[in-house]
A and B are shown apart, each in its own frame.
Chain A
Amino acid sequence: MSGLSVRNVTYHWGRHRALDAVSFDVAPGAFCALLGPNGAGKSTLFGLLTGLFRPERGKLVLAGHDMDRATRSALAATGVVFQQPTLDLDLSVWRNMLYFAGLQGLTGRGMRGRAEAALARLGMEERAGEKVRALNGGHRRRLEIARALMHDPQVLLLDEPTVGLDAPTRHDLTAHVHALARDEGLSVLWATHLTDEVAPGDHLVIMHKGRVLEEGRTPATGPALTAHFLAMTGRAVRADEAA
């Protein structure tokens, strides 16, 4: 199956257990919100999903490719937007796109066409000549999403992509990526700690302290989801304290 599958993944930072037998699936064309407070293990999971480091136990499958055995095929089918910006501030928007295209093995006229189309899709084509340093936070994020889509991935991973953005920009980006999943069949894993980024019908995974507390179709949105999320994580904290 394509999409994304995380099976019994465990990882430690020294003696601290960052991920504890984490398992969930994201179906093709689904938007999965990975909801968790700071320290839940979301970024550790992203590090494993992008091959920056390897899980101690468990299995990761992206777009049908086993991350351990077919790392390169898995990465080729995946677009990533990290929490930390990964743009070269001293290069132009266009040069940043071409640099990434080269790393993905795209060349020639096809590369230019894809770069133009990806920028147009995110409304960034008019800024192609600008230095990234001159862009505001929202445009930088849009550029990172445009770049992540340039090689037509089947899976899109976004690790808290709206950090530091104002509310309207946050809303636009969230809506745009939801539309990508719905209209283009992308499997999206969107890590966040903000409940207002979860839409009705989203697949929801709630993580806390390296464990999956709940997985399934989102039970509610807005304030009701916030209350549910706080109740889940609060309950987990009380259980940990009692233990």
Chain B
Amino acid sequence: MKHALSALISICQREGLRFFGQTGRLVAALVRPLIWLFVFAAGFRAALGLSITPPYETYITFETYIVPGLVGMILLFNGMQSSLSLVMDRELGTMRLLLTAPLPRWWLLTCKLIAGALMSVLQAYAFLAIAALYGIRFPALGYLTVAPVLLLAAFMVGALGIALSSTIKQLENFAGVMNFVIFPMFFLSSALYPLWKMAEASALLHDICAANPFTHAVEAVRFALYVQPNWFALGVTVAAGLVFMGIALWGYDPGRGMVRQKAGGPAGS
């Protein structure tokens, strides 16, 4: 137990040192959602009308609606950043050091996931602070109740990232992940528009969005910010996280053929 904890602390410390050592990374992580908030949402404010649906009890601006979705965007991009760092670790060799530690592999990957999730949550709070300064505020207690939900949502997208990293052989293929995973996952969700708005446009689009686990992560965050539990959304988020983690563990199983490539292959053999 002590050993497992010391590994978790070490992996979190390394992730934190790497994150805060790269000052540009926090700025880059925040610029993307802030542009969406200040430019995209402001421009669409007049074009989109939002009716009163839970958790909202009154009419809200589009900027207010979009903030939980943009928090989800931060978690999603950071989850993929973690997957990128795993692919880099594999190419640079540091992955070997992690995988040869005398601990169960599932725990080592979980540590990596927790470390990435903590970094995501920090970024999400930094974004929420800027949004509050901009005038988009949530109930004070909401900033507290959202913390565990943010962690679970970050865990889910992080697990997806680790699962993907087990299939990505080269760093260059990460652009493909951006195009085929991040963007569809983000746009086919309730991050930018409510599901009922999607249903007006296309029943098929609505169904796809409703099946997207990222939609449920965003909704769980949205409700938690208003101090309301959305058990169904939370349940889907947790279930999806466990499925993705299962795929990740399968991908990194030393008995599987693919792990040989991921671990660096037979270099020099």
Contact = CB atoms under 8 A, between A and B. Distances in A.
A186 interface: no
Contacts of B264: 47, 52, 82, 84
A100 interface: yes
Contact of A105 (B7, B93, B104): B7
Which of A39, A80, A99 has its CB near the most chain B CB atoms (within 10 A)? A99
A95 B17 contact: yes
Given A72-B103, A98-B10, A52 B268 contact: no
A52 B94 contact: no
A104 interface: yes
A86 interface: yes
A110 to B, nearest CB: 11
A102 interface: yes
A44 B269 contact: yes
A114 interface: no
Given A13-B266, A82-B93, A88 B14 contact: yes
A80 B93 CA distance: 12
A13 B263 CA distance: 13
B116 to A, nearest CB: 16
Contacts of B3: 104-105
Interface in B145-203: none
A90 B11 CA distance: 14
B99 A52 contact: yes
Given A43-B268, A103-B10, A50 B102 contact: no
B267 A86 contact: no
Interface stretch (B221-229, B243-251, B254-262): B254-262
B9 A102 contact: yes
Contact of A73 (B2, B7, B9, B102): B102
B7 A103 contact: yes
Interface residues of A, number: 45
Interface string A37-52: 0111111110100111
Contact of B260 (A13, A40, A83, A86): A13
B103 A47 contact: no
Contact of B263 (A52, A87, A91): A52
Given A40-B269, A41-B269, A106-B6, A52 B14 contact: no
A91 B268 contact: no
Contacts of A87: 94
Contact of A86 (B14, B94, B255): B94
A44 B267 CA distance: 8
Contact of A103 (B2, B103, B255, B266): B103
A197 interface: no
B7 A107 contact: no
A47 B101 contact: no
A72 B101 CA distance: 8
B100 interface: yes
B103 A83 contact: no
Nearest to A103: B101
28 contacts: A13-B260, A39-B269, A40-B269, A41-B269, A42-B268, A45-B269, A47-B260, A52-B254, A52-B260, A53-B260, A54-B255, A71-B102, A72-B103, A73-B102, A75-B100, A82-B264, A83-B267, A85-B92, A90-B18, A91-B18, A95-B14, A99-B11, A102-B11, A103-B10, A103-B101, A103-B103, A104-B3, A105-B2
